[in-house]
Structure 1
Amino acid sequence: MLLDQYWTAEKLHLEQMDLERQMHDAGVQRFKKAQQRAIDQGEASGTAYNTRLMRELVHPMAQGIQAYLEYYQGRPGKSTQAIAKLRLLDPLTAAFITVKVLFDSIPAKETLQGTCIKLGRKIEDQVRFAKVEDTAPRYVQAIKESLKKAHSKHYRHRRNVMASTEAKLADTVRGEYVNDLERWVDWSKKDCLGLGLALVEIAQSSLAYNDEPVFQLAQDGKRSAYHLQVSAAVQGWIQEYTDFMAQLSPDYTPCVIPPRDWVAPKVGGYFSREISRTLPLVKVNRRKHLNRLTREQMPEVYAAVNTLQRVPWRVNQAVLAVAEEVLERDLSLGMPQKEPYEVPPAPVPDDLRDLRGPELRAAMGEADYAKFTHWKVESSQVHRKERVRRAQCYEVGRVVSHARRFSIYPGLYFVYTLDSRGRVYCRSSLLGPQGGDIQKALVHFGEALPLGERGRYWLAVHGAGVWGNDKVPFDERVRFIEEDMRETIKDIVADPCTFRDWTSADKPWQFLAWCFEWAALLEHTAAGEPSYTFESRIPVAMDGSCSGIQHYSAMLRDRRGGAAVNLTPGDTPSDIYGEVAEVVRGKLARIVKGENVEVMSQKKPLRGKTLAKIARAWLDFGVDRKICKKPVMTLPLTA
């Protein structure tokens, strides 16, 4: 354990316990804020407690709907319209929608009438868009995937997209699909109200907790409108469940003393019971399986993880100073851009802005409507970029603040655990050696060690790698650092905010951290000391090459595959993603030339003009290593 004149062992132990109390309290606050955020967004059904309740209530609600329909089959006295519309949907889906809408309505104290109408409309939407999906399942699935990628959370937006899809299919479906799709005629407000009232009645009679109806009617005053609320018993359960779940989401941070060694699947890591009970050694779904992962079963794993936990780190003060200056002066060097992305104005005349769908298309004309369609795609991309930018700005600010907070300690240590696939991760979300570029740059080893005979060589290789010059032989990387970058590195270290070449690196903050280290090495040697005596704190990273294929190649003794993923010695690193891209481009070119190349899609062969058209489109788009990286990485793991 690293100590200094102020931080004695006793003080650090007390500080660690205080940090763990803060982790606990911060986790509770974060959990409660997340629940309140869901409520404020009108998605109270998305809270942890309502999600848990819905799992228990949906099936009884479905049984109640089924019993209701069977009882009133052919009987008078109930709205035939409500029953007829309820029969258009399977009871389980109707039950899920009902329970979700009722939970969403409770925090805002929506009137019973308003809740029932909204519930009827949601049922209508489900029936309506299920018909659209039945007509063109693949097209609608593509629309849903697009909404998912765009992280669309607002129901109104998703509904508008589906309504637009329905309109397009209704206009073009004739002759293209077996089933014709007619334009939907909205249900009347009265019918939606009747349907919603029927479902609320079923919920009140079918769902109970401690012999009390889960959903009850309430009034704030004798003259006020009725609204729904949950029973007192359910409210008490919600409070207990919320308090329990809030304890399970601590805000993990580094330790200031070495964590406890792992001696059992649930014994190790953090010190306080409130934190340690939330973090087993291995993340698994089955507790029975976790209990079998003892130290006797995998002693090497326990030894490796405990060794990692004893490694001291500390905040890199030089990098922290630059990061703070960049933020203070609003320079955006190596940071997400400060200026928000702005959506260009829509190319729609003011007098047409109230029109939608076919009406807008007819009023604008095909040429102008094509521009409008292009604008919608462009604006969607801008919105996505803006969401990412905001998230990155927020995270960078928190990371720097976190580093400043932990910079006062003589050493930092990280608790390590394994995921279900055996990969090892340190438990720290904002500062650590496994985070993003700036996180990695803000920490270095707490204990410096001499470079040794080959240390300078590999330190130079690392510098070239974080710069981005990592696809050439090692000797060329060293020459690049020793000769081409020598003066540039001195300028950067002298004034990083003026000499900004470091921001051009692939990993700018890690390169900046390396520059400080390399400049110190140059000063060391300039003073007449040999390189091998220089004490360094910088971790030299060696990244794996497509570990899935590495494992398969090793197990199968596949020399060709092993060479492609750098398992065999070589001066120049192999790039399997680039090699695959080259093969794909060659295959596409042969298809365009008319050669007989077998290509399968959806387990069916593609041939002729369709295949040639697709191949030409891909060649025009450009197939590079980035395009090929994801399928090459993932397919070996699912083969």
Structure 2
Amino acid sequence: MQKSSSPALNQLLRVVRSCKAIFWEFEAAPATARAASCDWTRHQQAPGPWFPPPGPRLFSALPALAPSTEEDWWNRPEDTARQVPGEAHYQLWAQLANIRDQGTLRQAERRTRGKPNTAYPFAPVTAYLNSRKRNGEFDDTVLDLWARQAEILASKPSTDRNVYGPYIMLLPPRVLAAVTLQVAMNHFLTTFSMHLGFVKVSSLSYGIGTAVRQSVVIQQIRSKWKQEQDRRRKVRKVLKKGPKGPKGAAEGGELRALAAELRELGEYGAQIDESWLEDHESFQDRMAALKYGWAGLKRETGELQFHALQGPPGGGPGPKGRNWQKLNMLRAMESALKWDKELIVKIGSSMTKLLVQSAMYNTLPERRDEFGNLLPAETSRVFFHERVRNTVLNIRGQSLGIVRIKPEVLAKMERSHSAKASMTEVRHLPMLVPPAPWKTPFSGGHVLTPACIMRGYEERLADRSSTVNDATYATMPETYDALNFLGSIPWRINKQALAVVDEAWTRGGAIAGLIPRSPPVQPSTSLTGLRTRAMPYNLMTQGFVSFDLHCENRTKAADWRKVSAEQYALKCDIEIKLQVARDYAQEDRFWYPHTIDFRGRAYPMHANLQHLSSDDTRCLLEFADARPLGPRGLYWLFVHASNLAGVDKVSLADRYQWTAENLDGVMDSANDPFGMNGDGAGKLWTSASTPWQFLATCFEIRDALASGNPEAFLSRLPVHQDGTCNGLQHYAALGRDAEGGSSVNLTPADKPQDIYSRVARLVAIQVEKDAQVGNKLAQGVQGMIDRKLVKQTVMTSVYGVTFLGARDQIANRLWERKWSEDDKLVRQTATYLARITLKELGNMFQSSKVIMNWLRKVAGVVAADNHPVEWTNPLGIPISQPYRKEVKKEIWTAMQQINMELGPRPDSEVHKSKQKNAFPPNFIHSLDASHMMMTALACKENGLSFAGVHDSYWTHACHVDVMSKLLRDKFVELHARPLLAELREELQRKHPELNLPPLPEALDSTRQFDLELVKESDYFFS
């Protein structure tokens, strides 16, 4: 490579190396390419020079184009657009930046009444506060925040002000008010607190403090952008001067050498094409293009220029103690990611106290009396701080600090859909451009929101845990590639399904598994009073009630509260899903960035509308890219419909035949989902086991047949292939267990084996035997044992379900059937059935039981030495079980004393029982995660679209045969390795001082299974 002794170029190289040339390819693009339409989905096919695909470097460059204020943004969009070469770029930036790069422009415009604020993550509430400014609503909170910050500047003493003071100085008062109000209303509108009318001080304080921290992080990111922009200015100055002028540099010399060196930089190195430096004219165009995005750019000049230092409106204390404030604010800014839970609670509590004291709303606006005199507006407080006995939450004897909301305000917010939408924060919305690819543990996914590739480590980003530090691309490239592939799959909303779900919800729910919108009827409380003097006599007289009836009424009230809480939580979830689906219904495509949990399982970052959610949510999603059905696509649509209907315990041919025989019902469901009664009664789709996905399949089958040429029909519906009790499949493969493998379809068969029905038959046989010898419990459940009764226990047995857990699962099934109203009898019977079920499972899967016990022993030895169990999964993911003992502390805050669990610390003692009992299921989860990612990468190599739900793999109907072969090949490839031996060797290497138990010899007697048979099993996944 050509070297240069030019001081200017040496300086340039130092600058470029320091920032790793993050923005080079964005700046160096030809003007013609920049002015072209930004069709990101077809960028690879574009002729000539072109922008690189959206990635970390391009995404980091886009924020430089943002106007400095929302007024610049909204009132002068034409000026802003002129800063960007091409209207498409302006639209792209608008979509990227709105509400932390997560939502659509239309969504932001509607929710913020036309003025999105891209500076902070709580733009909807900032606009909500602005919209209330005319009536003076909530403005007292903003003014009080000015006063609070002025008191901090004046060093006025107060409880813990020296602790939280520097931190609340980091944001302007209006933003702090928006954050506080947003979180408070979000707690009331999206949790069971809506039903109770209050929220615990501890949870509200922690929520507000966390939101303040997030806002400071956003401000910190913007400040770093400013620093990066300064570096870029230096680069441009050197480039413009050039030792030989633009023409000489273009023809060759140091600039060409610089381009070559930049290509050799690390993972963030520039991707500069030397063909861009061919002639003088193109070089001049590029130099002129460097000016775009900078004209009119007005940003903060550094971390120490804070709005709060200006004092409150109308004057106030001067900058007393300013140097101290600067120092502490700088420290707070730099350590924003390191705020511990205690500090977060103190900050949130101070904001909560201020909200309770100052938040007002107008009960009556300003008006004139009959004489024309102006009457002032009448106001009332919104929030109240109280202490109550926590009997309503079934925790007796505790005094609980709560924040209660005025019922009229809450009712108004609940009735107003637009107000509720503006107050509800939805994190990590689907992206309108492909996610930034993961290249390090801390860079990837969303653009502006800091994230970690491993879920659960977000609050420890600055600590750089050793587990996450080891999760680099070099150690686990397949995992990075798989996550990037999963995130690159474009989705869109199934508008036909959305219309039906939306209509069903509008009609009150309670259709095809949807919860009812109306709350459950509250039981009568007229007889719950109990007089102490009546207790010894157990009497029932007027005004009194017996002790037994009193306890029964209390139990009914507790059950009602539990059901109400669950139903309200589901109601909020459905409303959020539908709102997101409506917002994205007009988008051609959107993307889900993925992360992994500590076991390696992949999840979309968005928590509501995604394919890992419930049946009524999955039906709303389809692949954005359509594929023709081809010769086998319609066949798999028919099989898929049968699976969703619950007819999945028969052969594939019989499943196809079932759909063919019920085709009239399929067409009727698609053409008239609700029927004459408006509730879908009598329709085929409402009787399916997964009705909403079945209905979406009905739409697809109808449209394919109506096209006249099903093979050419462009299908977007994901078709599933599901494993059979996948955890037991992995156990059977680990132990080479022929009998166990046959029970979970690892071996070829004419029809699928149903492990749940098989266990149910064995349990029923034992119950019949016990009933014949006079067992009263067995006699009570004769003829009632079926697969549904034992399914959950069988499914969770592989994940370490305890005996008490199995008992509760079976008891829940008995209660659902209203088998008996005697709770004691139900629990006794469930205990009896749980014992038999677990015994029969152990007899069926002896190798699984041996492996599970060995894994527990190994984990017990490691945990006994106060070490967490750590291992590496087959794809190189470093896994560390996070179970440590919680640290509890009494925190004195501005409002009250709060008892909180601060969570485990890195130096906390490990939780030995959790480390031991959780290791078997976590190890199996790490294997199914590896299998899913291996299959995903194989699908990528073969040009397939793919989505995974742990043990359910999705693709287009035309590609099911290809995916089925790939997933079987990858399962065999995974288990061909001596996984248990590798695990023991790694643990022994990590802990050479420990005497780990050897591999179980009992497995030698069960190693009779040939893994290659899995490739021939039609029902391994089906």
Q: Shorter-chain TM-score category?
A: 0.5 to 0.7
Partner of 2:201: 44
Give the match for residue 441 of structure 2: 265
- Say whether residues 1:628 and 2:794 are aligned partners: no
3-state DSSP of counterpart to 2:444: strand
CA positional deviation for 1:12: 3.5
For 2:782 and 2:548, the matched residues in 1 are separated by: 22
Q: In the alignment, is the contact (CA less than 8 A) between 1:45 and 1:51 conserved in 2?
A: no
Query: 1:492 and 1:626, CA in 2 relative to 1: closer, same or farther beyond 3 A?
Result: closer
Q: CA deviation at 1:380?
A: 3.7
**Deviation, structure 1 residue 507:** 1.9
Deviation at 1:375, TM superposition (A): 5.0
**Structure 1 stretch displaced more, 569-578 or 277-286:** 277-286
Question: Does 1:563 find its partner at 2:742?
Answer: yes
The answer on whether the counterparts of 2:453 and 2:595 sit within 8 Å (CA) in structure 1 is yes
Match of 1:488 among 645, 661, 665: 665
1:25 counterpart residue number:
122
- Alignment counterpart, residue 451 of structure 2, candidates 254, 278, 287: 278
Aligned to 2:563: 385
What is residue 445 of structure 1 aligned with on the other side? 623
1:15 aligns with one of 95, 100, 104: 95
Shift of 1:496: 2.0
1:449 offset after TM fit, Å? Answer: 0.6
Partner of 1:239: none
- Residue 199 of structure 1 is matched in structure 2 by none
Q: CA deviation at 1:161?
A: 6.0
Specify whether residues 346 and 503 from structure 1 end up closer, same or farther in structure 2 by C-alpha distance, changes over 3 A only. Answer: same
- 1:40 and 1:337 map into 2 onto residues whose CA distance is 21
Q: Does 1:155 align with 2:390?
A: yes
Contact 1:2 1:410 in 2 (8 A): no
Task: Check whether the contact 1:3–1:410 (CA below 8 A) recurs between aligned residues.
Answer: no
Instruction: Give the deviation of 1:424 after TM superposition.
Output: 1.0
How far apart are residue 426 of structure 1 and its match? Answer: 1.1
Change (3 A) 1:306 1:589: same
Q: Distance in 1 between matches of 2:772 and 2:94?
A: 73
Partner SS state of residue 720, structure 2 = coil
Give how far 1:353 is off.
3.5
Partner in structure 1 of residue 651 of structure 2: 473
The offset of 1:592, in angstroms, is 4.0
Deviation of the 1:303 alpha carbon: 1.5
- Deviation string, structure 1 residues 190-248 (Cα, Å, up to 9, x no partner): xx9xxxxxxxxxxxxxxxxxxxxxxxxxxxxxxxxxxxxxxxxxxxxxxxxxxxxxxxx
Question: Structure 1 residues 250 and 479, CA, compared in 2 at 3 Å: closer, same or farther?
Answer: closer
Larger deviation, residues 252-261 vs 576-585 = 576-585
Contact 1:550 1:562 (C-alpha < 8 Å) held by counterparts: yes
Aligned CA distance change for structure 1 residues 109 and 250 (closer, same or farther; 3 Å): closer
Alpha-carbon contact 1:326-1:333 (below 8 Å) kept: yes
Taking the aligned partners of 1:470 and 1:591, their CA distance within structure 2 comes to 32
| Contact 1:464–1:477 (Cα < 8 Å) also in 2 | yes
Q: Following TM superposition, by how much is the alpha carbon of 1:311 offset from its aligned partner in structure 2, in angstroms?
A: 1.0
Give me the whole-angstrom Cα distance separating, in 1, the residues matched to 2:494 and 2:98: 23
- Paired residue for 2:484? 306
Residue of structure 1 in register with 2:494 after alignment: 316
Secondary structure, aligned partner of 1:637: coil
Residue 549 and residue 42 in structure 1: after superposition, are their counterparts in 2 closer, same or farther (change >3 A)?
Answer: closer
> Deviations for 1:547-593, whole angstroms, at most 9, x for unmatched residues?
22111111111122222223233343322223223222323333444
Note the alpha carbon deviations across 1:321-370, whole angstroms, 9 max, x for none: 2233334454653432234321443684xxx83426961861139x9765
Letter in 1 for 2:666: I
Is residue 2–residue 411 contact of structure 1 (8 Å, CA) maintained in 2?
Answer: no
Asked whether the 8 Å contact 2:760–2:786 carries over to 1, the reply is yes
Task: Label 1:292 to 1:370 Cα distance change in 2 as closer, same or farther (>3 A).
Answer: same
Cα deviation, residue 516, structure 1? 0.9
CA contact (8 A) 1:336 1:392 kept: yes
Letter in 1 for 2:433: I
- Report the secondary structure of 2:535's partner residue: helix
Q: Deviations over 1:583-619 (max 9, x none)?
A: 223233334445xxxxxxxxxxxxxx9xx455556x3
Aligned residue for 1:539? Answer: 718
Distance 1:283 1:50 in 2: 17
Give the Cα separation in 2 of the matches to 1:518 and 1:632: 34
Unaligned 5+ segments in structure 2 are: 1-39, 44-85, 104-120, 125-178, 211-344, 357-387, 400-424, 801-851, 853-1022
Note closer, same or farther for the CA distance 1:592–1:325 as it changes in structure 2 (3 Å cut). Answer: closer
Distance 1:268 1:357, change over 3 A: farther
In the alignment, which residue of structure 2 is the partner of 1:637?
799
Equivalent position amino acid for 1:414 in 2: Y
Task: Kindly provide the amino acid, as one letter, of the partner of residue 269 in structure 1.
Answer: G
CA 409–519 in structure 1, closer or farther in 2 if over 3 Å, else same: same
Aligned to 1:254: 430
| 1:487 CA drift (Å) | 1.5
**More off after superposition, 432-441 vs 578-587:** 578-587
Q: 1:253 and 1:588, CA in 2 relative to 1: closer, same or farther beyond 3 A? A: same
Give SS of 1:453's match. helix
SS in 2 for 1:422: coil
Q: How far is 1:379 from its partner?
A: 4.5
1 CA distance for matches of 2:536 and 2:520? 27
RMSD over aligned Cα atoms = 4.2
Q: Percent identity?
A: 28
SS of the residue corresponding to residue 575 of structure 2 reads: helix
Counterpart among 399, 408, 413 of residue 577 in structure 2: 399
What residue in structure 1 maps to residue 519 of structure 2?
A: 340
Aligned 8 A contact 2:530 2:547 in 1: no
Structure 1 residue matching 2:719: 3-state secondary structure: coil
One-letter amino acid matched to 2:674:
C
The 3 A distance-change label for structure 1 pair 42 and 10 is: closer
Post-superposition offset of 1:269: 0.8
Give the superposition deviation at 1:544.
2.3
- For residues 48-93 of structure 1, the C-alpha deviation after alignment (integer angstroms, 9 at most, x for no partner) is 559999xxxxxxxxxxxxxxxxxxxxxxxxxxxxxxxxxxxxxxxx
Residues 52/466 of structure 1: CA separation in 2 closer, same or farther (3 Å cut): same
Amino acid aligned to 1:25:
F
Alignment pair present for 1:292 and 2:467: no
- Alpha-carbon contact 1:313-1:443 (below 8 Å) kept: yes
Any idea what SS the aligned residue of 1:428 has?
A: coil
- Structure 1 residues 477 and 10: alpha-carbon distance in aligned structure 2, compared to 1, 3 A threshold: farther
What amino acid is the match of 1:303? D
Contact 2:443/2:452 (<8 A) preserved: no
Are the aligned partners of 1:3 and 1:411 in contact in 2 as well (CA < 8 Å)? no
Tell me, yes or no, if structure 1 residue 408 matches structure 2 residue 643. Answer: no
1:511 partnered with 2:668 = no
Amino acid at match of 2:704: L
Greater shift in the superposed pair: 309-318 or 27-36: 27-36
Distance verdict in 2 for CA 1:405–1:356, change over 3 Å? farther
Report if the CA contact (8 A) 1:577-1:628 is conserved: yes
Alignment of 1:230-249 (within 5 A): none
How many aligned positions are there? Answer: 437
SS in 2 for 1:454: helix
Superposed, which structure 2 residues align to 1:598-613 within 5 Å? Answer: 612=775
User: In the TM superposition, what is the alpha-carbon distance from 1:314 to its structure 2 partner?
Assistant: 0.6
Change (3 A) 1:329 1:563: same
Q: Match of 1:364, SS?
A: coil
* CA distance in 1 between partners of 2:629 and 2:653 (Å): 18
SS at match of 1:541: strand
| Structure 1 counterpart of 2:442, one-letter code | K
Deviation at 1:46, TM superposition (A): 4.0
Q: In the TM superposition, what whole-angstrom CA distance separates every residue of 1:138-177 from its partner, at most 9, and x where no partner exists?
A: xxxxxxxxxxxxxxx96234678689xxxxxxxxxxxxxx
> CA shift at 1:413, angstroms?
0.6
Report the Cα distance in structure 1 between the residues aligned to 2:768 and 2:546, rounded to whole angstroms. Answer: 36
Tell me the TM-score normalized by structure 1. Answer: 0.59
Alpha-carbon spacing, 1:281–1:50, altered in 2? closer, same or farther (3 Å): closer
